[in-house]
Structure 1
Amino acid sequence: MAAYVQDAIMLLGDSITQGGYENNGFAAKLAHVYNRKMDVINRGFSGYNTEWALPIFEQCFATQHEQQHLPKVRLLIIWFGANDSCLPTREQHVPLPQYKANLRKMIWMVRSPESPRYSPDTRVILINSPPLNAEQWAGRQAAQEPPRPMERDSAVTRTYAEAAVEVGAQEGVAVVDAWTALYDAAGREEKALKKFLTDGLHLNEAGYAIVYDELVKTIKEKHPEYHYDNLQFVFVPFDKICEDLKNYKELTKKRSAFPDA
């Protein structure tokens, strides 16, 4: 009998993804609602941009040969842009055309039959970068020892966020527009983003809650077969065993999370 494994959701991104288990973040909430149905794999890397993440992704996502022996990644959620959109004075900066090309390459790596990592059962969702509260971030930079220069700009961040939406539309990939959702929640006032950001860039619990809600809504609308409400426990609920105690060994055999599989 093969060891117990579940299909998975993979999160790929920077510090905002890495922090997805903090402050009741979006990753923690996903793990809760998909518990016993799909595992949530967090591959967030603080400080990374799309350029640096490409070789990481090649090591994180299995090749076609390896996929035969591993659980399937059903949802790949890519969340980059916050570091790519740094000003050119910062090492993390990635020019806008290259940022878009890198997102396309990540999508191609799992969607193209020509790719070594082609995975036809994987659905890709992009999340764009949240809006920047420049005043809040500038205060954070000034408080460092020694003080650090301001290396981000609200308008530039917005341009990168819009570019991710553009890439999604061109590639036929769903996009969670975190920038717009958070900006609207702040009454379209940059200073009011303090309610959702810890330091002008990273999300607090309230900010993660907005992105989580938008992500779940996107899954339900674009990929309903992978929404947690449409999946079943890999192992039956205990009350099913209580109804037929003599057959508990049969009842406790692993099954697919997909009812029709």
Structure 2
Amino acid sequence: MVGPARPQFVLFGSSIVQMSFGHGGWGAILSEVYARKADVILRGYYGWNSRRAVEVVDKVFPKDAAVQPSLVIVYFGGNDSMAPHPSGLGPHVPLNEYVENMRKIALHLKSLSDSTRIIVLSCPPVDEAKVRQNQSPYLSEVIRTNELCQKYSDACVDLCKELGLQVVDLFSTLQKPDDWETVCFTDGIHLSAEGSKLVAAEILRVIKEAEWDPSLHWKSMPTEFSENSPYDLVSADGKSTLNSSEWTYFWDHQWD
């Protein structure tokens, strides 16, 4: 930890989380929006499903940690929703078990502190044609379909409503563009920069609209060392400065 301490936002999930700090990724967007306001911390694990996450959630988020996160954004479901392989191997998790795993994860996170907030991302769609095109022959029986993705997404959304958690319905969000299959993915599964913009915008909308006290919306949070400096830009009257900690997104309303 380097001081002074900022609120911690932790991204916890599988490959869509692990890859979210790549060029144009939604994690990178959040880090830029919350620069000098919160530390966005990556805890992404390529290939994981909810079963593996349940096994280690108390190690990733220990209850006795000196500092607990202000926000945890959780995503599991894409790997769980893959059809079971005849061998019994692979990441598939039956729907009922997936829901209970997500319940356990959410309840553990809720127990960290009274001020820890949670946003869950549901299972996104896939470009089925692109997935089949990129699939290795030895994985030909591992199936990803949007019919399965929607079942897991809907179950996740229903669980969040039951637990009173904020949720981003990725299955619907990523299908907003008419050409979503082309623009939202790099390989039919993982997000492109355009897909990441949609995800980031939905996360920021949820944060803005959530009735959390204190608010975690970026405009509502204090900026670290926000006082004016002689090295900042001087305004036209020569008497005041434009603090660079505040003006990066001053004119950019896409994240309002």
Question: TM-score normalised to the size of structure 1?
Answer: 0.81
Alpha-carbon distance in structure 1 between the residues aligned to 2:46 and 2:110: 26
Per-residue Cα deviation, 1:145-190 (whole angstroms, up to 9, x for no partner): x553142122011110111111111110011011101112236xxx
Alpha-carbon distance in structure 2 between the residues aligned to 1:92 and 1:12: 17
What amino acid sits opposite 1:110 in the alignment?
A: L
Partner of 1:213 in structure 2? 201
Partner of 1:56 in structure 2? 56
Alpha-carbon distance in structure 2 between the residues aligned to 1:241 and 1:163: 52
What amino acid sits opposite 2:184 in the alignment?
A: F
For the pair 1:236 / 2:230, whether they are aligned, the reply is no
Partner of 2:247 in structure 1? none
Per-residue Cα deviation, 1:39-74 (whole angstroms, up to 9, x for no partner): 0011110000011012332111131x32xx33x311
Per-residue Cα deviation, 1:112-131 (whole angstroms, up to 9, x for no partner): 4xxxxx31111111111211
Specify which of 107, 121, 124 is matched with residue 130 of structure 1: 124
Alpha-carbon distance in structure 1 between the residues aligned to 2:194 and 2:227: 32
Partner of 2:168 in structure 1? 176
Q: Which runs of 5+ in 1 are unaligned?
A: 113-117, 243-261
Partner of 1:110 in structure 2? 109
Alpha-carbon distance in structure 2 between the residues aligned to 1:82 and 1:124: 19
What amino acid sits opposite 1:205 in the alignment?
A: A
User: Residue 134 of structure 1 contacts residue 152 of structure 1 at CA under 8 Å; is this kept in 2?
Assistant: yes
Identity of aligned residues (%): 30
Deviation of 1:223 after TM superposition, in Å, equals 4.5
Specify which of 41, 62, 77 is matched with residue 81 of structure 1: 77
Of Structure 1 and Structure 2, which has the larger fraction of its residues in helix?
1
Distance 1:186 1:45, change over 3 A: farther
Q: For this pair of structures, how many residues does the alignment match?
A: 225
What amino acid sits opposite 1:73 in the alignment?
A: P
Q: Which runs of 5+ in 2 are unaligned?
A: 233-256
Alpha-carbon distance in structure 2 between the residues aligned to 1:19 and 1:175: 20
For the pair 1:148 / 2:139, whether they are aligned, the reply is yes
Alpha-carbon distance in structure 2 between the residues aligned to 1:49 and 1:148: 17
Distance 1:46 1:12, change over 3 A: same
Question: SS of 1:239's equivalent?
Answer: coil
User: Residue 100 of structure 1 contacts residue 164 of structure 1 at CA under 8 Å; is this kept in 2?
Assistant: yes
Alpha-carbon distance in structure 2 between the residues aligned to 1:24 and 1:54: 29
Partner of 1:255 in structure 2? none
Partner of 2:187 in structure 1? 199
